[in-house]
Amino acid sequence: MAPIQLGVLASGRGSNLGALLEAEAAGTLYAHVALVLSDRPEAAALRRARDRGVAARLIDPESRRARLAPEVEARYVEALQAHQVDWVVLAGFFRIVGSILLNAYADRVLNIHPSLLPSFPGLDAQGQALAHGVRISGCTVHLVEAAVDAGPILAQAAVPVEDGDSVESLSERILVQEHRLLVETVDRIARRGFIRDGRRVRWNREPA
């Protein structure tokens, strides 16, 4: 199998993008970040990509709505296809993608979420976990479907919640696992692939 060509959508500092770029540079990721797209001109993710010589583009929705307008979403898809992207990673992308992207990349859009889904979907997952008083939280890499944070789960990592945790301290502990889990999962997709059976995902055997 050829390495996966990744398109990464990010709105913020892009630390998960950074983990992918570092793993690629270190030779521990069987994938290439081919394109980074952002909805925000000030996203550090864009600079991070350009620093590594990776194509990076702002596609500004010019709207504050979380859900992308169809014509904007179509521009994202055009850019991804122009760069021969075959998997899309939402790495801290603050917009909700819809059927245009999900149809173009059916079962090939990943999201990473800072909780053990199905617990604590949506915004401020770490704050939700603290308020609920769980002793174990974590992160989840899943396929994106129309419902937010609800697609089939590819991988999870558990993270302990400490008595004195704040949202910041818990978020930081989870983020370390997010970086590892995202890199490992993309690498596993590229090397092994999986079969979907309803919501359950079964990984193929490692090729001999």
User: Where do contacts with a copy of itself occur on this chain (CB under 8 A)?
Assistant: 116-119, 130-136, 138, 152-158, 163, 198-203
Nearer of residues 22 and 145 to a copy of itself, judged by Cβ: 145
Question: Known catalytic residue: 83?
Answer: no
* Rounded CA separation 158/156 (Å): 7
Q: What minimum distance in Å lies between the beta carbon of 117 and a copy of itself?
A: 7
Describe the crossing of helices 15-26 and 44-51 by its angle, rounded to 10 degrees. Answer: 10
Catalytic residue selected from 113, 132, 142, 179: 113
Q: How far apart are CA 173 and CA 195, in angstroms?
A: 31
Residue closer to a copy of itself, measured from CB, 25 or 131: 131
Q: How far is the CB of 193 from a copy of itself (least distance, A)?
A: 13
Distances (CA, A) of 1 to 23, 79, 190, 206: 19, 24, 7, 11
Q: Is the Cα dihedral 81, 54, 92, 155 positive or negative?
A: positive
Task: Tell the smallest beta-carbon distance from residue 156 to a copy of itself (Å).
Answer: 4
**Which residue, 68 or 155, has its beta carbon nearer to a copy of itself?**
155
Question: What one-character DSSP code corresponds to residue 142?
Answer: E
Q: Which of 98, 92, 46 is nearest to 72 (CA)?
A: 98
Sign of CA dihedral 137, 98, 41, 108: positive
As annotated, the active-site residues are: 113
